[in-house]
A and B are shown apart, each in its own frame.
Chain A
Amino acid sequence: MPTATCRVFLVDDHRLFLSGVRAELADRVEIVGEAVDVESAIEGIRATQPDVVLLDVHLPGGGGRTVIEAIRRDRPQAVFLALSVSDAAEDVIGVIRAGARGYVTKTISADDLAAAIDRVRDGDAVFSPRLAGFVLDAFAGDLPPGAAIDPELDQLTPREREVLRLIARGYTYKELARRLGVSTKTVETHVSSVLRKLQLSSRHELTRWATDRRLV
C-alpha cells in the first residue's frame, strides 16, 4: 500500500457502473470527482488535478480519447487508466496511443483495479491479457517493403514479446518475474517500453490493423 492515498477521478457515462466502482474503491483510494461526459470530464479534471483518471473508452461527446488529448495538451503529466467493456481493438489501441498508461476490462476485480491504479500512478504501464494480445498482433509480421523502419520503435525485442506472451497467458507481473528469473522492476521496464513503442511507433500496421482487424 502506498503511503499517501491516491486521488482518483472517475469518468464513465454509465452511472450504475460509477457508483459500483465508487463503492468498491472507497476505502482504497480517494475519489475526488466524477464525470459522465467529455465536457464535464475535462472541466472536472482541470479543477481537481487528480493523480489518476479512470477513464471509460466510450463516452458521449467524443470518447475517452478526446478527454486524454484535451488534458494532456496543458498537463502532459496527467495519468490515465482506460477501462472498458469494449474490446474492439481499434478503440483500445486508440486510447493507448492518445496517452493512457494502461487498459483494463470492467470485469476486473476491485483488488486488481486498485493495484492497477497504484501501478499507473507510479509511472508503470498496466496491460491486461487482452491488450497484450492486441499488441502482439499489431506488431506481428514484417513491415511492408519501403516503409521507413525505426527498429527502436517499430519492432518489439524478443524479450518484450516473451513478456507480452506471458501476460496474455494470464501471468501477473510477479508471477512473470519469477518465471523469467528477473525482478518485478525489470518486468515493469519491459512493459513500459512496449507502451512507449505502442504510443510512438509510426508502424503502418498499427492503424491499418486496428481498422481492418476485429479480434474477439
Chain B
Amino acid sequence: MQRLARSRDDRVIAGVCAGIARRLGVDPVVVRLAAVVLALANAVGVVIYVGAWAMLPEQPATDEPDLDRRGERAEDSRAGLKSALAVGCITVGILILLKSVLPRFPNGLVWPATLVAVGFGVVWARADEADRSRWRGALLGEADGTLTGRGLWLRLACGGTLLICGFGWFLSTNSALSDLGTVGVAVLATILGIGVLLGPWVRTLFNQLGAERRERIRSEQRAEMAAHLHDSVLQTLALIQRQADSPQQSRSLARRQERELRAWLFDDRTPASTAAAQRLVAVLDQISDDVEADHDVTLDVVAVGDCPVDPRVEALVAAIREAVVNAAKHSGEPEVSVYVEVTDDGINAYVRDRGKGFDPAAVLGDRRGIADSIIGRMARVGGVASIRSGPGEGTEVVLRLPLESGEEE
C-alpha cells in the first residue's frame, strides 16, 4: 500500500491530487476533476488543496519505503491522515447536502466548518490510544484538578455563549460574500469561544506531554550511564581482580580506566579516539594512555590552552611522544612530567624525568632516536628542540613550535 504523499513525478501544481489518487488507487484525472469542482464550489477545494499541500510529505525520491520515517507511529499517522481526510470529506458532503436542501443555508459556514472538522480529525486520530483516554479524562475534568468544579462550568458557559453568538451571526448573514467584515467578526467570535473552551485543557495537555518527555529523557540517560559503567568500569575492575598479582598491569589498567572515565564525564562524551582526537589536549591524553600501557611509568600531563592538530602540531606531538618513550625506557624513574603550553605565538612543550640522565654531547652522535625523531622532526616544521641533561640530574626535553611563519607577518 502506498503512503499518502505528494507525488514527485506526476504533478500539475504540487502533486497533491496525483498523491491522493495513487493512495486511493484511482486515476489522477478523477481526483483532479473532483478538486476543480470543489474549488468552484465556494473555493472549498482550494482550501483543502493548500491544506493538503502543507500537511502531506513529499514522496521519497525512490519508491523504496522511507525507513527513517517509519517509526512505530507510522501506522498511526497513516490512519490519522486517512481519518482526517474522511472527516473532512464527510463534513463537506453534509454541508453541500444541507446547502442543496436548505436554500437559505449560509455560504460563509462551509469552509470554516470543514477546516475545524479536519483539524479536529487530525489531532484526534494522530494520537495513540493512551493519549486519547487521557484527553477524554482531561476534557471531563477527571485527570486534573484544574478542570473541575465552577471553573469548568464558567468556561463552558462563556465558550458556549460565544459559539452561539458566532452561529447566530452566521445565520443572520445571508449574503456572506458581500459582507466579509461581519463574517470575519463571526469567525473570530467562534474561534474565541473554542479557545475559551479548550485553552486550559490544551495547556494541561502540553504540560503533561512535556513532563513525560523529560521523564523519558532522564531514564534514557540513566540507562546510558549504566551501560557505559558496565562496559568500562566494571569490566576493568574485573580485569584488575584477575591480575592482582601483577601490580604493574593493575596499575596501568586503573590509570587507563581513570582517564577514560574522566574523559567521558568531563569532555562532552566524545570518544577520545574519534572527534576529540583533533584537539591537542585529547591527543596528549591518547599518548599518555598508550605509553602507560606499554611501559611501567606514570605520566603527569599538564596542559595550558588547547589548539587544533594540524600537520605541524602533529610533528610536535610525535616528538613529545618520542621524548616520553625515551624517558620511560631509559630514565629508570617511574614518573614523567609533561607540560604543554599553547600561547599566542606558539606552543612550548616540556618532557621531564628525574632519572639517571645522560651526557647529551656523548650520546647525541650515535642515538638516532633523539637526533631524528626529536631534533630533526622539530627542525623540519620550523621548531626547535633542546635537551638538558647530565648524569644523575634527570633529563628535560624542551620543544618549541612557533606559530606558522606565514601567520606571523
- Using a CB–CB distance below 8 Å, which chain A residues touch chain B? 85, 87-88, 107, 129-130, 132-133, 136-137, 140, 165, 168-171, 214-216
Q: Which residues of B contact A214 (CB under 8 A)?
A: 266-267
Report the bound CA distance from A87 to B266 in whole Å.
10
Q: Which residues of B contact A107 (CB under 8 A)?
A: 298
Report the bound CA distance from A88 to B298 in whole Å.
19
Q: By the criterion CB–CB under 8 Å, are B302 and A168 in contact?
A: yes
Report the bound CA distance from A204 to B79 in whole Å.
58
Q: By the criterion CB–CB under 8 Å, are A140 and B305 in contact?
A: yes
Does any Cβ of A come within 8 Å of B296's Cβ? no
Report the bound CA distance from A22 to B216 in whole Å.
45
Does any Cβ of A come within 8 Å of B281's Cβ? yes
How many whole Å from B144's CB to the nearest CB in chain A?
Answer: 38
Q: By the criterion CB–CB under 8 Å, are B350 and A169 in contact?
A: yes
Does any Cβ of A come within 8 Å of B22's Cβ? no
Work out how many contacts link A and B, with CB atoms closer than 8 A: 51
Does any Cβ of A come within 8 Å of B27's Cβ? no
Report the bound CA distance from A160 to B268 in whole Å.
33
Q: Which residues of A contact B301 (CB under 8 A)?
A: 216
Report the bound CA distance from A134 to B352 in whole Å.
19
Does any Cβ of A come within 8 Å of B177's Cβ? no
- The residue on B at minimum CB distance from A170 is B337
How many whole Å from B75's CB to the nearest CB in chain A?
Answer: 44
Instruction: From the candidates B262, B281, B302, B305, name the one contacting A129 in the complex (CB within 8 A).
Output: B302
Interface of A is mostly: loop
B contact residues, total (Cβ < 8 Å): 22
Does any Cβ of A come within 8 Å of B284's Cβ? yes
Report the bound CA distance from A215 to B339 in whole Å.
13
Report the bound CA distance from A85 to B262 in whole Å.
10
Does any Cβ of A come within 8 Å of B66's Cβ? no
How many whole Å from A170's CB to the nearest CB in chain B?
Answer: 3
Rank and list the top 3 A-B pairs by shortest CB-CB distance, nearest first.
A170-B337, A133-B302, A169-B339
Q: By the criterion CB–CB under 8 Å, are A169 and B304 in contact?
A: no
Report the bound CA distance from A133 to B305 in whole Å.
9
Q: Which residues of A contact B285 (CB under 8 A)?
A: 216
Q: By the criterion CB–CB under 8 Å, are B303 and A215 in contact?
A: yes
Does any Cβ of A come within 8 Å of B396's Cβ? yes
Interface of B is mostly: strand
With A87-B262, A170-B339 already in contact, the answer to whether A133 and B303 are too (CB < 8 A) is: yes
How many whole Å from B67's CB to the nearest CB in chain A?
Answer: 38
Q: Which residues of B contact A170 (CB under 8 A)?
A: 300, 335, 337, 339, 350, 352, 354
Does any Cβ of A come within 8 Å of B341's Cβ? yes
With A88-B266, A168-B304 already in contact, the answer to whether A133 and B339 are too (CB < 8 A) is: yes
Q: Which residues of A contact B302 (CB under 8 A)?
A: 129-130, 132-133, 168, 216
How many whole Å from A42's CB to the nearest CB in chain B?
Answer: 28
Q: By the criterion CB–CB under 8 Å, are B341 and A165 in contact?
A: yes
Q: Which residues of A contact B300 (CB under 8 A)?
A: 129-130, 170
Q: Which residues of B contact A88 (CB under 8 A)?
A: 266
Q: By the criterion CB–CB under 8 Å, are B304 and A136 in contact?
A: yes
- The residue on B at minimum CB distance from A129 is B302
Q: Which residues of A contact B267 (CB under 8 A)?
A: 214
Most buried by A among B304, B305, B350, B352: B304
Q: By the criterion CB–CB under 8 Å, are A129 and B304 in contact?
A: no
Q: Which residues of B contact A137 (CB under 8 A)?
A: 304-305
Report the bound CA distance from A107 to B350 in whole Å.
21
Report the bound CA distance from A136 to B343 in whole Å.
11
Q: Which residues of B contact A169 (CB under 8 A)?
A: 337, 339, 350, 352, 396
Report the bound CA distance from A28 to B339 in whole Å.
31
- The residue on A at minimum CB distance from B265 is A88
Q: By the criterion CB–CB under 8 Å, are B337 and A140 in contact?
A: no
Q: By the criterion CB–CB under 8 Å, are A216 and B281 in contact?
A: yes
Q: Which residues of B contact A171 (CB under 8 A)?
A: 352
1/0 contact trace for B284-324 toward A, CB 8 Å? 11000000000000101111110000000000000000000
- The residue on B at minimum CB distance from A214 is B266
Report the bound CA distance from A216 to B281 in whole Å.
7
Q: Which residues of A contact B284 (CB under 8 A)?
A: 216
How many whole Å from A129's CB to the nearest CB in chain B?
Answer: 5
- The residue on A at minimum CB distance from B288 is A216
How many whole Å from A45's CB to the nearest CB in chain B?
Answer: 30
